[in-house]
Amino acid sequence: MIRPFEKPIYVTRPFLPPLEEFCQGLEEIWETGWLTNNGPILQRFTDELCNYFETDNICLFNNGTLALQIGLQGMGISGEVITTPFTFVATTHALFWNKIRPVFVDIEPDYYTLDPEKVEAAITPWTTAILAVHVYGYPCNLNALADIARRHNLRLIYDSAHAFGVEVGAKSIAHFGDLSMFSFHATKSYHSIEGGLLIFKESGLKGTFDYLKNFGFKNELEVVMPGTNAKMNEMQALMGIQVLKYLDDIIEKRSRITDLYRQRLKKIPGIRLAPPLSPHVKYNHVYFPIEVDEDEFGMSRDQLYEKLKEFNVFSRRYFYPLLCDYACYRSISIKDPLTVARRAADRILTLPIYDGLELSDVETICEIMMSLQMGKDSSLHRRRIGLEPEYFKANTR
């Protein structure tokens, strides 16, 4: 009998740098009295990110949503944009606030990213851009999307909210497409408490983004465009600088969790894992999504989600419901049946993953799932899937 965890195991926990390191940084803020509005720490953070990404074409924001909204606005995107319904609501909200019509098309079944064939089929004379999402940090079909964008003269924009630290062919994922937005929210593998980053090809956009995030101010007396307030503050920048130092370590710890989950869960009938990523991809292990096949597993994704809660495990159904089913987007007419996206939204569960999650806890989560599978007696079931008894003795609570 497996006992519930004593403390809740959440889908994620933010990495926090050693408190004394953060306090040292705070001392500087106390000395300067500079809290926001392009302060010295924000400038340092910007420089560090320019080095990290090897480009000067970057702009920091107070969150990823406003970064994307301003990115679209600054690039003058209008009309129709082809995008995915299988994402966090903020992707479409950013279009909405720019009065752009989202055209939802289906995703590919392996990594849940936009299906390029569906994108091409949805292009109309009003299409101006493709807004693709590297969902769960899984890279989109970069070449195919770039090819479509080039042939149809469309802008290619990536919501890379999940993809900080991801590389493809030893090149940061930020360098694909015309513009990429990264979220630095506390729930991501890299964060600055809250925060957002734009990385873009055209250097000329930097000035526009800087105006737009600061009310459109050019100087004390001139407002050159109706901007908003989307500035990152000094505390956020300080956290961003400090977490960046630990990024490799964070990703390494998360990768061990991914490996363990994959090793254990691949043996459970009814649990489908994404295929291993190409060796050309350096992944950031930001989420661990699984698909639950109700018939084979013996319970639905939603039942598993509820059952796990009884063990004090709080997985999440990112991204369910499908975005276009939310009341605010339900009236948008959609030609694509979105078969793959609907199936993913109904079957995916994202399991806990964060650098501080103990491997023994991951083992226990897998053990709980094994015992729940088809409601079978777990000892019989263990034998059937060939796991050693010693492992269970050590981990059964």
Binding site for ligand T4K (CB under 6 A): 10-14, 63-65, 87-88, 90-91, 133, 159, 161-162, 183, 185-187, 196, 314, 318
Query: Which lies closer to ligand T4K via its Cβ, residue 13 or residue 376?
Result: 13
| Distance of closest approach, residue 114 Cβ to ligand T4K, in angstroms | 12
**Min dist. Cβ of residue 90 to ligand T4K (A):** 4
397: helix, strand or coil = coil
What span, in angstroms and rounded, lies between the C-alpha atoms of 269 and 77? 46
Least distance between ligand T4K and beta carbon 68 (Å): 6
Q: Which is nearer to ligand T4K, 353 or 370 (CB)?
A: 353
Distances (CA, A) of 174 to 23, 90, 198: 31, 19, 9
Q: Within 13 Å of residue 21, how many CA atoms lie on the same side as its CB?
A: 12
Q: How far is the CB of 305 from ligand T4K (least distance, A)?
A: 13
Q: How far is the CB of 193 from ligand T4K (least distance, A)?
A: 8
Q: Which amino acid is at 338?
A: L
Measured from the CB atom, the residue of 90 and 368 that comes closer to ligand T4K is 90
**Closer to ligand T4K by Cβ: residue 290 or 370:** 290
135 phi and psi angles, rounded to 5 deg: -65, 140
Cβ proximity to ligand T4K: between 133 and 149 the closer is 133
Q: What are the backbone angles phi and psi of residue 118, rounded to the nearest 5°?
A: -70, -35
Please identify, using beta-carbon distances, which residue of 316 and 342 lies nearer to ligand T4K: 316
Copy the structure tokens of residue 23. 């306090």
Q: Let me know: does 334 contact 28? Beta carbons within 8 Å.
A: no
Query: What is the closest distance, in whole angstroms, from the C-beta atom of residue 1 to ligand T4K in the complex?
Result: 26
Contacts by residues 27-35 (CB-CB < 8 Å, ≥ 24 positions apart):
29/234, 29/235, 29/238, 34/234, 35/233, 35/234, 35/235
Q: Which is nearer to ligand T4K, 195 or 227 (CB)?
A: 195
Q: What are the structure tokens assigned to 193, written together?
A: 């408490």
Please identify the residue of the shown chain whose CB is closest to the bound ligand T4K.
Answer: 64
Q: In the bound complex, what is the minimum distance in angstroms from residue 166's beta carbon to ligand T4K?
A: 13
Q: Which helix (H) or strand (E) holds 257?
A: helix 247-265
Q: Cα(27)–Cα(364) distance, rounded to whole angstroms?
A: 42
